[in-house]
Amino acid sequence: MFSPLIDQLIQSLRALPGVGPKSAQRMAFQLLERDRDGAERLAQSLLLAAAKVQRCCECRTLTEENRCAICTSSRRDRTLLCVVESPADVVALEQSATYRGVYFVLLGKLSPIDGVGPKEIGIDVLEQRFATAELTEVILATNPTVEGEATSHYIAERAKKHGIRVSRIAHGVPIGGELEYIDGGTLAHAMSSRREL
């Protein structure tokens, strides 16, 4: 139906999360029909990012340098380590402007069913950091899924063996959320994690 190059573009766009065949087709036609300059900028940006972006050697987030700006900053509290699942989680926490420590990016979560164990997500590297860094607290900020909770528990056990205080970010009712629209699991977690005022 499509020429080989258009079909290749559509299939390539489908690699993006949440992009199905129709969305990829719309994007391809938008770029080809209405925004050729945008298509060229997108292509150049993708090529440059794929060639230059790598993982920070310390925290494993994405950066163009050997060490990211957070890890090289003298303003960060190196006694606090926040463990997250992905580089996107680092960005989200940084946008909240409430955390001044450093990070460790797992690049996933434990999932034995899928063959993802501690080594696959770098818990061995994290444990080396527990042994060598001057950490006073590890903050676990994995997602509140079954796998995220299991990953959090596993890491907590390892950190405690090194005498490091472990805390878990709270999950629950969002600001502006209405209770009648919140699922039962979130409400149960919010109730069990309540604190005194």
Question: 29-86, pLDDT tens digit by residue?
Answer: 999 999 999 999 999 999 999 999 999 999 999 999 999 999 999 999 999 999 999 9
Q: What are the C-alpha distances in Å from 134 to residues 21, 78, 157, 158, 162?
A: 50, 7, 18, 15, 11
Per-residue pLDDT tens over the stretch 132-172:
878 999 999 998 888 999 999 999 999 999 999 999 988 87
How many domains does one find in the chain?
2
Give alpha helix (H) positions in 100-196: 123-132, 146-161, 184-192
63: helix, coil or strand?
Answer: strand
Is residue 85 included in any domain, yes or no?
yes
Same structural domain, 47 and 79:
no
Q: Where does the pLDDT of residue 102 fall: very low under 50, low under 70, confident under 90, or very high at 90 and above?
A: very high
Which of 139, 193, 143 shows the shortest CA–CA distance to 164?
139
Give alpha helix (H) positions in 14-145: 21-29, 36-52, 69-72, 87-96, 123-132
Is residue 63 included in any domain, yes or no?
no
Q: Which residue has the higher pLDDT, 97 or 62?
A: 62
Helix axes 123-132, 146-161, angle to 10 degrees: 30
β-strand 77-84 against 137-140: which pairing, if any?
parallel
Report residue 128 CA to chain centroid gap: 21
The mean pLDDT of 9-32, rounded to a whole number, is: 94
Per-residue pLDDT tens over the stretch 105-140:
999 999 989 999 999 999 999 999 999 878 999 999
- pLDDT for position 196: 64
Same structural domain, 80 and 159:
yes
Is residue 158 included in any domain, yes or no?
yes
Domain of 86 in residue numbering reads as 73-168
